[in-house]
Amino acid sequence: MTDLWRLSAAELAALIKSKQVSAKEAAAAALARLDAVNPEINAVIDHRPEDVLKQAGDVDARIARGEEVGALAGVPVTVKVNIDQEGFATTNGVKLQRDAIANSNSPVVDNLRKAGAVILGRTNCPAFSYRWFTTNLIHGDTKNPRDASLTPGGSSGGAGAAVAAGIGHIAHGTDIAGSIRYPAYACGVHGLRPTMGRIAAFNAALPERTIGPQISAVSGPLARTIQDIRISLAAMAQKDVRDPWWVPAPLEGPPMPKRAALCLTPDGLATVAEVKAALVDAGKRLERAGWTVEEIADMPPMREAAEWQTKLWLGDGYEAQLAAAEREGDPGALACLRGNRAKVVPFDAPDYSKALTRRATLTREWLQFFEKYAVLLIPVSAELPFADNLDLKDEASFARVWRAQLTEIAIPFMGLPGLTVSTGLVGRAPVGVQVVSGRYREDLCIAAGEAIEAGGVPPMPIDPVS
């Protein structure tokens, strides 16, 4: 039989449910793969093998009793170190939080366990989850398994690296400005930022979030197949009353004509030729699958949305964030905050009011846009994955990084879903596209994603390449 860690989550769950493979065998294979490759990439920064095997044993016992175990029966998955898992520190890549030991699980962890998943380990992120690179002073650097000279992305860089290298079949990530979509892009896997309110969030180990993160930060899955994105979304999206923003929206919306808009340079984005080629190719894949694809130049604003999102993300409590980063002493966190100070300070009550007012207006315009098109096809980033830690090189490089991430920053301001679909390689650098749709229409993103995926994706999982 093929190495169990190579299988998709859907394939593995079917084998476990039918008792052809035990959950303990799958867990043992996942732990062996982790031991084999994690020392090279540092994707998982905390795991407890005895607990992993116990979780798997519990799944096997439920199956033996004839109980329903869920769509992710026995599937090893990873979770990001910025959400609560009982008995583990919710560090968010920060030394200051090394003692923030969770006494309960976040809704995501509880929902994954209810679906039968086995939590394999906790994945790395940059300090405070600020960057599109994954380094910190408590857990160290995460490397991209496809090319160690490239960023694995951030802030869910450990998640992207883990799933690309076969450490777990699905990875949990979070996204406030591209932190699921960019690691998926950089590591050559798929990643879904769901609609705000789709997946419940709460960390009892940490203070309540400010309003900006409350209305724009989300959890979501990274995986090697679009089918695994589909089933993990369903598992993660179950009800949890601890999140007042959670919405009981159906996972399948009303049918829409297969009509896609394609934009190569949204709001004047300086998209490089390789990314444009990937988008054109993805459009052709959709057409072969029966979609109508219309290339457009005009759409509702993205640049303004990105500017407001940056203010909500970093300007809300800026001085407190900067003070924490200074206590931590993390160079990447300090670069992020200091480099954006002029964009986000001051952010007073009138600015706050204007941000929320513009959010309503821009969201309305985007929802009207998605009455005409089922999905929008745009770049994930204007460039191929960056050289690792490019944002720390100099001021020009810092500005270059932020310019390239326009679409990733903009989409969360409206609370829209966005799916990264990995489509190929340019040398050793992954490339892919972003599929966006209206609120709670992840099903349309996934349908388009499946058609694009059918045209070819990079090989995965892979052995790390130095």
User: How does pLDDT run across 277-318, given as a tens digit for each residue?
Assistant: 999 999 999 999 999 999 999 999 999 999 999 999 999 999
How far is residue 205's CA from residue 81's CA, in Å, rounded to a whole number?
Answer: 12
What is the spatial order of strands in the sheet that 190-193 belongs to? 44-46, 118-123, 76-80, 170-175, 218-223, 190-193, 418-426, 429-436, 375-378, 259-262, 292-295
Encoding tokens for residue 176? 């406030």
Question: Would you call 373 exposed, middle or buried from its count of C-beta atoms within 10 A (0-12, 13-18, 19+)?
Answer: buried
Q: Would you name the residues annotated as active-site residues?
A: 80, 155, 179
pLDDT for the residue numbered 276: 98
Return the pLDDT at 1: 56
C-beta of residue 72 within 8 angstroms of C-beta of residue 115: yes
Rounded Cα distance between 263 and 410, Å, is: 15
Nearest partner of 90 among 240, 228, 205, 222, judged by Cα:
205
Give all domains of the chain, ordered by start, each with its CATH number: 4-453 (3.90.1300.10)
Please tell me the distance from the alpha carbon of residue 465 to that of residue 150, in angstroms, as a whole number.
11
DSSP state of 219: E
Cut 0.95: pTM above it: yes
- Residue 211 buriedness (CB in 10 A; 0-12 / 13-18 / 19+): middle
- What confidence score (pLDDT) does residue 17 get? 97
Which residues does 83 contact at the CB level (< 8 Å), separation at least 6? Answer: 90, 106, 108, 109, 172, 174, 201, 203, 219
Structure tokens of 177? 């400005």
Q: Tell me the C-alpha distance between 152 and 145, whole Å.
A: 8
Residue 300 backbone phi and psi in degrees, to 5:
-60, 160
- 421 — phi, psi (to 5°)? -115, 120
Query: pLDDT tens, position by position, for the chain (466 residues)?
Result: 579 999 999 999 999 999 999 999 999 999 999 999 999 999 999 999 999 999 999 999 999 999 999 999 999 999 999 999 999 999 999 999 999 999 999 999 999 999 999 999 999 999 999 999 999 999 999 999 999 999 999 999 999 999 999 999 999 999 999 999 999 999 999 999 999 999 999 999 999 999 999 999 999 999 999 999 999 999 999 999 999 999 999 999 999 999 999 999 999 999 999 999 999 999 999 999 999 999 999 999 999 999 999 999 999 999 999 999 999 999 999 999 999 999 999 999 999 999 999 999 999 999 999 999 999 999 999 999 999 999 999 999 999 999 999 999 999 999 999 999 999 999 999 999 999 999 999 999 999 999 999 999 999 999 998 8
Give the pair of three-digit tokens for residue 235.
């598992």
- Encode pLDDT of 28-50 as tens digits: 999 999 999 999 999 999 999 99
